[in-house]
Chains A and B, each alone.
Chain A
Amino acid sequence: MPTAQGGTLYRGREGMWSWVAHRVTGFAIFFFLLVHVTDTALVRVSPEAYNAVIGTYQTPLMGLGEAGLVAAIVFHAFNGIRIILVDFLAKGPRYQRVMLWIVLGLFVVTMAGFLPRHLMNVFGGQ
């Protein structure tokens, strides 16, 4: 199946690249989730163990990682809604490209709201 010989309906352009991005972000979020449930489980070990590990999340490097992760989730979420609309609206497929630009616009707005605040928490003060 993955070895189709060219000329498929979905090859190239916005439709394909948004699909690639959706797949890559979904994949990344899943593996983060495995790690994240495990680190949170340390609250059952001791306050010290939990605080020690979560402390590493508050370093500048991890702070940037969190920013990337939030970006992945925000894109996946908005584009997921776009996929649902493409599937369920009668004119969905016709407007899939317009909707991708709306997704990217909302993505920029959301990240513009989140990034300054988060980066100030990570890099500023204390």
Chain B
Amino acid sequence: MTNATHGTPAVAERVGTLDAPRSPYVRKKTTRGNYELYSWVFMRASGVVLVVLVFGHLFVNLMVGDGVEAIDFAFVGGKWTNPFWQVWDLLMLWLAMIHGTNGLRTIINDYAERDVTRGVLKGLLYLAFTIVVVLGTLVIFTFEPCPAGADPELLASFCTA
């Protein structure tokens, strides 16, 4: 960080133009924007929503019926022909990825002290974010539950009905 002279200009300014006595306190303007504040709020807001989305996801996929044993192509076919689960999974994908990526950004900032290391790690992080979010979104919306020529045994029952 190049913070050696941070604050000095503001002090000089203060000395030059003293505030009138008992004028109300005004926060010093920062030039950095409010990014970290918004990110802090987002971590909390998305966390609350994710509790519902993730617990619902785990319950339906792991607890109902035969749980993980029941998951196969036909199971996914049954879920993603329903717009409700499409929207659910899309929201979960985006919120979890932004929340997780932002969390990892914090962790990188904490431990990677060299500028180059930090830059490279964050570059990889944002690359992974982009690939996974684009891939996941495409899959949810281009999914074909009854692909032509596939073994009907492997498909949801409504494909052959």
For window 64-81 of B, CB contacts with A under 8 Å fall at 66-69, 71-74, 76
Interface residues of B (CB under 8 A from A): 44, 47-48, 50-51, 54-55, 58, 62-63, 66-69, 71-74, 76, 93, 96-97, 100-101, 103-104, 107, 110-111, 113, 128, 132, 135-136, 138-139, 142-144, 147, 150-151, 154-155
Residues of A within 8 A of B48 (CB): 81, 84
Interface residues of A (CB under 8 A from B): 1-2, 23, 26-27, 29-30, 33-34, 37-38, 40-41, 43-44, 46-48, 50-51, 54, 57-58, 63, 66, 70, 73, 77, 80-81, 83-84, 87-88, 114, 117-118, 121-122, 126
Residues of B within 8 A of A46 (CB): 147, 150
30 contacts between A and B (CB under 8 A): A2-B110, A26-B103, A27-B103, A27-B104, A34-B132, A37-B135, A37-B136, A41-B135, A41-B136, A47-B72, A47-B73, A50-B73, A50-B76, A51-B72, A51-B73, A51-B154, A58-B69, A70-B58, A77-B50, A77-B51, A81-B51, A84-B44, A88-B44, A117-B62, A117-B63, A118-B67, A118-B68, A121-B67, A121-B69, A126-B69
